[in-house]
A and B are shown apart, each in its own frame.
Chain A
Amino acid sequence: MTLWFVFALMTVAAIFAVLLPLGRGARAQIQGSEVVVYKDQLAEIERDLATGLIAAPEAEAARVEISRRLLAAAGSEPVSEPTSSLKWRRAAAVLALVGLPLVAIGIYMPLGSPLLRDFPLAQRERGAGSGMAQSLENLVVQVEQHLEKNPTDGRGWNVLAPVLERLGRFDDAVRAYRNSITYNGESAERRSDLGEAIAAAASGVVTAEAKTEFERAHTLNADDPKANYFLGLAAEQDGRKDDAANIWRALLVKAPADAPWRPLVQSSLARVGGGAATMPALSDETIAASKDMNEGDRNAMVRGMVERLATRLKQNGDDVEGWLRLVRAYLVMGDRDKAVGASGDARQAVANDAARLKQLNEGLKTLGLDG
C-alpha cells in the first residue's frame, strides 16, 4: 500500500507543478528584453573607453551602431499587453488534473511491476542466515566467492565442479575441474570428468580437446570406465562404428555385473550395431537380466533427451513450450525437485516478456506446479 501512497504523492506534486503558475494572476513578470541587452552594451563601451581599451572614434562608431539596434529593438518590442485567457488556463488545468495521471498510469501499468518488492542483497543475505532455506544456487555462489579468495583450495574445486555441471554451467565446470587437477594432482577419474564436462559444453560432441583428456585418463588407468565409454563415443561420432563397438565390448567384459553404467554402454553398443553380435554369446542369466536393462536403456535414452532439451533451453530460454515439456518430463521421471527448479529457471528466462510469462504460468498450473 505504501507504494501506491508514494505514487499518489508524486502525482500530486507533478500536477501541482503545472497548476502553480496557472493560479497566479497576470502580475508583472520579471523578464529580460533586447533593450536591456543593448543598454548594457552601450555601458560597456563607456567602460572600455575609460580604461583606454578602445579609442574615441571607434567608441563613437560602435555607439552609433548599437543605438541603431536599440531603436530598432524598442520599435519592434511586442506591445506586451499581458492578456489572460481563462478558457485556455482551465483547459491546461484539466490537462494536468486528468491527462497527467492517465498518461502516467497508462504507461506505467504495462511496464512496471508494482507488486514486486525490492531485493537489496544485504537484506537477502541476512534472510538466508536466519534459517531461510538456502537454494543450491545460493550455496554455489558462496563456494565460488570462497574460491575467488582462496583459488588454491583444491577440495573446494572438487566439490564445486560436479555441482556446476549439474546446474548446466559447463564452461565453469570445465574451469573448476581444471583447477581441481592443478591443485589436487591428476587422476584418471578427474581427467575423464574434465573430458565429460568439455563434451557437455559442446552439447555432447566429444571434441578433440575432450578426447585428449580421455586419452590422458586412459593412459593413467586403462580400465577407467568413463574414459573408455567416451573414447568409444568419440569413435562413433567419427564414424568408426566398429572401433566404438570393440571399445564398448571390451568395457562390458571387464565391467562388474552391478555397475550402474552397464545399461548405458549396452544401449550404445546396440546403437552402433554391435549389440546383436554379442547377444547370442550371452548366457541365459544375462538375457534374463537384460529385460531390466532394457528398462534402464529406455530410461537412459529419455534422460539423454531431457538433458539435451535442458541444455538447449539454457542457451535460448524464450521457448515456453520447451520449458513446459522439460518440467513435464521431470515430473514423469519422478524428479519433483528438478521440475520445480526448471519452472523457476523458466520464469526467470521469460520474466521480461509479460505474454510469455502468462502462458508459462498457466501451463505450470495445469501441470500442478502452482507458482
Chain B
Amino acid sequence: MIAESGHYALVLALGLALIQSIVPLIGARLRDAALMNVARSTALAQLLFVGASFVALVTLHVNSDFSVANVYENSHSMKPLLYKITGVWGNHEGSMLLWVSILALFGGLVAAFGNNLPLSLRAHVLAVQAWIASAFYLFILMTSNPFLRLVNPPIEGRDLNPVLQDIGLAVHPPMLYLGYVGFSISFSFAIAALLEGRIDAAWARWVRPWTLVAWIFLTLGIAMGSYWAYYELGWGGWWFWDPVENASLMPWLAGTALLHSALVMEKRNALKVWTILLSILTFSLSLLGTFLVRSGVITSVHAFATDPTRGVFILLILCLFIGGSLSLFAGRATSLKQGGLFAPISREGALVLNNLLLTVACAVVLFGTLYPLAMEVLADFKMSVGAPFYNLTFVPLFTLLLLAVPFGPMLAWKRGDLLGVTQRLLAAGVAGLVAVAIVWGWASGGSTLAPLAIGLGIFVIAGAVTDIVERTGLVRLPFATVLHRARGLPRSAWGTAFAHAGLGVALIGIVCETTWNSEYIATMKQNDVAHVAGYDLKLDGLFSRQGPNFREMIAEFNVSRDGEKLSVMTPSKRSFTTRGSSTTEAALLTRGASQLYVSLGDATAEGSIAVRIYHKPLVLMIWWGPVLMAFGGVLSLSDRRLRVGAPKPARAKQRLQPAE
C-alpha cells in the first residue's frame, strides 16, 4: 500500500502542477485574485504530495520491499540503515524524484513566504515553476518510474554501487540539487518578468534571496563532491575536469555572475536585460547538467542511466525550456526600459568586468565539455579535454578575475576613483609581494609561477580585510567608534569580505597541493617503512574484517615523525559480494591544513601489498575556501535590510556610459 500510495501521490502532484501552470496565468490576465491564489495552494499541495511520494520511497527502501523494482535493483537487506536511506537517491529514478521534490520545495517556499511579492508576479512565478515541474513529473512517470513493481519479489536485492556507499552520498546530491534546482526560481522570476513586461530594481531585490540560497548550496555541493572524490576514489585527486564536474561548475560560474549583476540591478536599476539573460542561462546550464548526467551521454561513475529514451526525453525538455525562454527573451528584451547610467571606472564597471570574466570562463568550460562530445558524434573520433586545456584558458581568466576582486567592493557606485582605491590597496599588495618573496626563498622545486600565485591569494585575502578595515575605519578612528561602525555595517558587506577571502584561501590550497605534494608508491611487506615528506609510515600488518555487507582487508600503518609516534592509519580495501566489486577506503591524517593520505592497491600472494602514500600540503584550504564563501553567502542572506548604492554626487563633465 505504501508503494502504490506513493505512486498515486506522484501522479496527483502532476495533476496539480498542470492546474497550477494554467489557472494562475488566466487569473493574472483577468486580475482575478482568487484564480491567482490557486497558484499558492496548489504549490503547497504539490509539495505535500511529492513529499509524501518521496517519504514513501524512502520507507520502501528502509523496509527492503523488493517487490518494488527500484528497491530490488539498488538495495540490499544487509545494508546499514544510512545507506538504505541514501540509496534512495543513489540511482537514476530516485535521484530524479529527489530533484522534483526539491523543485516542489522551492515552489512551496515561494508560495509560503512570497507575501512581499505583488500578487500577479507570484502567480506568474509559480505558474512557470509548475511548467518545469510538469515536464519532470512526466519524465519520471513515463521513463524512470521508481514505483514499478515486480510480481514475484526476489528475496534479496542487488545492492547499491559500492562507491556510493559512503556518507558523501548523504550530503553531496541533496546539496547539489538544492543548488541546481534553486536556480529554477530565478529562472521563473525572469520568465515571469518577461511575461508581465515589467522589470525594475525591486525585481532584483525579490530574486536575491533565492539566488543566494541556490548559490550557497551549489558552492557547498561542489566542494563536498570534490572532497568525496578526493577521499573515495583513492587517487588523491580532487578535481578532474570530468564532464560531470564541469556540469556543476558551469551553473556555479553563471550563478556567481548572476549574483553580482543582480546587485547592480537592485542598487542602480542598471544591467536589467543582462541579468534576465543570466537568470535564464544559469538555469539552462543546470538543465544541461541534468541532461549530461542523466542521459548517459557521458559515461562515468555518475551516469547510472544509460537508456536512450530518457536521453531523448530530457533533450526535449531542454530544447523546450531553453529554446522557449530564449525566444521569449529575444521578443521581449528590447521593450524593457533602460536603467541607470555609470562610468566605466565604478562599482558597476567592476561588476561588469566580473560578469565578463565569469561568463567567458563559463563558455570555456562549456566548450571543453561539449567539444569532445561533438567530435565523437560528428567525426566519430574519441578525445578528452583535460587539465592542459583548462590551464591555458580557464586559469588566466581566473587570474585576471582574482586580480580585480579586491578593487570591486572598494570602488564607489556610479563613478569610482581607481587611483584612490589602488593607494588604499597598497598594503594588501605589499602583503602579497612579501608572501611571494618568502615562498620563493623557502620553497624548493616546483613551478616558478607557484609563489606568484600564492602572492595573488594573499593579495585577495588582504584586499578583503582592507575593505572591512576601510569601512570600519579601524586604523583612523577610536576603537569605540570602530566597534559601532562594525556593528552598523550591513551583513552583506561582511559576506562579501568572507566570500572574497574564501577565493584567496582556496587558491592557496590549490597551488600548494598541486606544486608541493609528494607521493610514494611501492609494494610493502610487513614491517616495511615508507618515508614521505618527513613522516615515517611502518606497515604493522594486514587484517581482515567482516562488515555488514562487505569484507574488508585493513592495513595498519604506524605513523611517526622524527621518532615520535603520531597516530595509526588504517586504509582498507572493501569487497562487496553482491555486486562483485571492491572499493578502496583511503586513510587520512590531518595535520593543520595538510594531510597524509594512504590508499591500498592490490595484494600479492606473498602477503605484500601495493600502497600509495601522498603528503598533501595545505590541501584542506581547497575546501575551507568554498566553506568560507558559503558562510559569506549566509551572512549576506541574513542581511534583512534592503540595500541601496549611494552614488557619489556627479562631478562636471564625467562621461557616462549607458547601462547595457
A interface vs B, CB < 8 Å?
A: 2-3, 6-7, 10-11, 13-14, 17-18, 20-27, 29-34, 36-38, 40-41, 44-45, 47-48, 51-54, 57-62, 65-66, 69, 72-73, 76, 78, 80-85, 88-89, 92, 95-96, 99-100, 103-104, 107-108, 111-114, 116-122, 124, 135, 137-138, 141, 144-145, 148-149, 151, 171, 344, 347-348, 351-352, 357
B63 part of interface (Cβ distance < 8 Å): yes
Judge whether B151 is part of the interface by a CB distance below 8 angstroms.
yes
Q: How far is the CA of A138 from the CA of B77 in the complex (A)?
A: 13
Q: Does B433 sit within 8 A of A, measured CB to CB? A: no
Known interface pairs A60-B649, A73-B200; A20-B16 also in contact (CB < 8 Å): no
B340 contact from A65, A116, A124, A149, Cβ within 8 A: A65
Say if the beta carbon of B643 comes within 8 Å of chain A: yes
B14 contacts A by Cβ under 8 Å:
yes
Please list 20 pairs of residues, one from A and one from B, whose beta carbons are closer than 8 Å in the complex, sorted by A's number.
Answer: A3-B1, A6-B8, A26-B32, A29-B119, A37-B642, A69-B201, A73-B200, A78-B31, A83-B30, A89-B35, A95-B19, A104-B11, A104-B12, A104-B15, A111-B141, A112-B7, A121-B64, A148-B78, A149-B546, A151-B546
**By the criterion CB–CB under 8 Å, are A351 and B4 in contact?**
no
B202 within 8 A of A: yes
The answer to whether B19 touches A99 (Cβ under 8 A) is yes
Is B155 within 8 A of A62, CB to CB? no
User: B15 and A62: CB pair below 8 A?
Assistant: no
Contacts of A73 in B (CB 8 A): 200, 202
A27 to B33, CA, bound (A): 8
A51-B484, A51-B488 known; A20+B67 contact, CB < 8 A: no
B198 CB within 8 Å of chain A: yes
User: What's the nearest-Cβ distance from chain A to residue B46, in Å?
Assistant: 8
Is B129 interfacial (CB 8 A cutoff)? no
Looking at the assembled complex, report how far the CB atom of A188 sits from the nearest CB atom of chain B, in whole angstroms. Answer: 24
Given the interface pairs A51-B484, A69-B200, the reply to whether A108 lies near B118 with Cβ below 8 Å is no
A347-B152 contact, Cβ under 8 Å, with A61-B647, A103-B18, A352-B69 = yes
- 14 more contacts with CB within 8 A, not counting A84-B33, A88-B26, A148-B577, are A21-B35, A31-B119, A31-B122, A34-B202, A38-B202, A47-B488, A82-B31, A84-B32, A85-B35, A92-B23, A103-B14, A111-B7, A121-B66, A151-B546
Q: Do residues A29 and B1 form an inter-chain contact, with CB atoms below 8 A?
A: no
A-B contact count (CB 8 A): 261
Fill in one digit per residue for B628-660: 1 if any A CB lies within 8 Å of its CB, else 0.
000000000000011111111110000000000
- Measured as residues with beta carbon below 8 angstroms from the partner, the interface class of chain B is 35 or more
B236 to chain A minimum Cβ distance, whole angstroms, is: 31
Q: Which residues of B contact A118 (CB under 8 A)?
A: 1-3, 60, 63, 65, 67
Q: A36's closest neighbor in chain B, by CB?
A: B116
Q: How far is the CA of A30 from the CA of B482 in the complex (A)?
A: 41
Answer whether A347 and B151 are a contact pair too, CB < 8 Å, given A17-B16, A30-B115, A95-B19: yes
Contact check: which of B48, B116, B154, B549 meets A137 at CB < 8 Å? Answer: B154
Which residues from A are CB-within-8-Å of B3? 116, 118
The residue that B30 contacts in the complex, of A34, A76, A88, A135, with Cβ under 8 A, is A88
A120 contact set on B, CB distance < 8 A: 63-65
> For the complex, what is the distance from the CA of A10 to the CA of B15, rounded to whole Å?
12
Task: Mark the stretch among B37-45, B96-104, B529-537, B557-565 that contacts chain A.
Answer: B37-45
Please determine whether B646 and A113 come into contact, CB atoms closer than 8 angstroms.
no
Give the one of B11, B27, B580, B648 with max A CB within 10 A.
B11
A13 to B23, CA, bound (A): 18
Q: Which residues of A contact B439 (CB under 8 A)?
A: none
Beta-carbon contacts of B535-573 to A below 8 Å, as 1s and 0s?
000000000001001010000000000000000000000
Partner of A58, one of B19, B150, B642, B647: B647
A38 partner residues in chain B, CB cutoff 8 A: 201-202
**Is the beta-carbon distance between A138 and B155 smaller than 8 angstroms?**
yes
- Say which residue of B60, B66, B198 sits within 8 Å of A76 (CB atoms): B198
Q: In this complex, what residue of A is CB-closest to B471?
A: A53
- The answer to whether A18 and B154 touch across the interface, beta carbons within 8 angstroms, is no
In the bound assembly, the distance between CA atoms of A145 and B649 in angstroms comes to 79
Cα A51 to Cα B492 in complex, Å, equals 16
* Interchain CB contact (< 8 A) of B44 among A10, A17, A148: A17
Sorted nearest first, the 10 A-B pairs with minimum C-beta distance are A17-B45, A51-B488, A32-B116, A21-B37, A120-B63, A121-B64, A34-B202, A119-B67, A37-B202, A58-B646
Q: Known: A13-B45, A348-B150. Contact between A81 and B202, CB under 8 A?
A: no
- Verify A137–B201 contact, CB threshold 8 A: no
Q: Which residues in B have their C-beta under 8 angstroms from that of A347? A: 151-152
B424 at the interface (CB under 8 A from A): no
Q: Which of B11, B149, B205, B643 contacts A113 (CB 8 A)?
A: B149
By a CB distance below 8 angstroms, the chain A residues around B581 are none
Find out whether the CB atom of B148 lies under 8 angstroms from the CB atom of A352.
yes
Q: How far is the CB of B60 from chain A (nearest CB, A)?
A: 8
A5 CB to closest chain B CB, in angstroms? 10
Q: Is the CB of B649 within 8 A of A58?
A: yes
Q: Is B434 an interface residue (CB 8 A)?
A: no
Residue of B nearest to A47 (CB): B641
Q: Is B449 an interface residue (CB 8 A)?
A: no
Task: Tell whether, in the assembled complex, residue B7 and residue A108 are in contact, meaning their CB atoms are under 8 Å apart.
Answer: yes
Contact (A112, B116) CB under 8 Å given A13-B45, A82-B31, A84-B34? no
